[in-house]
Structure 1
Amino acid sequence: MQNQNTQIFFNDSDVDVTHKINTIELDNWMSHLKYIKKEITNLVNLCNTDLSLKLKQDNVQKSLQIKEVENEALLAAFNRYAISRTDIIECEDTQCDMVYITEHEGYRRRYLQHIEAYRKLKNEFFNKVQGTFTLTKKH
């Protein structure tokens, strides 16, 4: 959606401004999900080091791999959604605009739930890794 004009002008209607802000927000979500994809790859690679025995026992590595699949699926859904938003220009009434705005709210909820679950998993990973490092230092 980056090629779509998201510059907000003084004479834009409230609905136009909402659509533009939603487009910017969607671009940010997609960028963040791409970053998370790279981050998960790095975390999984860490699991493949000497930490693997401890983390495999706790299924953290498997959880990260599942989250990686979920992240990819959400990113693909957002890409499809971004393509579908090109038809916003065709809206001629408020009902049509509200369909897009309501749909965006659903995607926002999915994004926020995904981010919260990912943060919990990442915290779990680092708590376990920190415990492993602490155990290693004491021996």
Structure 2
Amino acid sequence: MQSNNIYKNDSENQIIQKRSLEELNMWISQVNYILEESNTLAKIASDKLKNKDLRDQFLMIIEKNAGILSAFLTYKNTTDNFMECIDLDCDLFYYNEHEKIRNLYTEYLNNYRSVKKKFFKSLLIHN
């Protein structure tokens, strides 16, 4: 992941904006990784564990992944605008948007972890 350079002369607002963008890039990377891992775990759940319920849960995560990535990328396309904010209302708007995206990511990640935990429990029981 590429880091935005933070300079001594950056304002507090510029630092926050750059860190928010780094955080968003990290989330996008994580969601892409979850997509790859979910594909593999769905195949294992189906082929090795013969657990269609777990497979379907991973397939739902994969399906939701497209919407999550779309929301992230749509938001990322607006980040140039928040770099140009000159008043508090503008800053608050983008702060609130970032919080919505953070909550979306957190909910998605928690759901994924829950299904993954079920998968590993099933794998332990299967063997």
Structure 2 length as normaliser, TM-score? Answer: 0.92
Task: Tell me which of 23, 27, 31 is aligned to 2:21.
Answer: 23
**% identical equivalent positions:** 29
CA contact (8 A) 2:17 2:83 kept: no
Q: CA deviation at 1:114?
A: 1.0
Query: What is residue 36 of structure 1 aligned with on the other side?
Result: 34
Which residue in the other structure is 2:62 paired with? Answer: 68
Q: For residue 106 of structure 1, what is the aligned residue in structure 2?
A: 100
In the alignment, the residues of structure 2 paired with residue 106 and residue 15 of structure 1 have an alpha-carbon distance, to the nearest angstrom, of 19
Q: Distance in 1 between matches of 2:49 and 2:7?
A: 53
Superposed CA RMSD in Å reads 1.5
Question: Counterpart of 2:16 in 1: which secondary structure?
Answer: helix
Structure 1 residue 10 corresponds to structure 2 residue 4: no
Q: Which residue is 1:136 aligned to?
A: none
Normalised by the size of structure 1, how large is the TM-score?
A: 0.84
Question: Shift in Å at residue 13 of structure 1?
Answer: 1.3
Segments of 5+ residues of structure 1 without an aligned counterpart are: 134-139
What is the alpha-carbon distance in structure 2 between the residues aligned to residue 105 and residue 80 of structure 1?
A: 15
1:116 is matched with 110
CA distance in 2, matches of 1:102, 1:9: 25
Q: Which amino acid aligns with 1:110?
A: L
**Aligned structure 1 segments of 4 or more residues deviating by more than 3 angstroms:** none
- Look up the SS of the partner of 2:47 in the other structure: coil
Which amino acid counterpart does residue 82 of structure 2 have in structure 1?
I
Structure 1 contact 37–72 (Cα < 8 Å) conserved: no
Give the number of equivalent residue pairs: 126
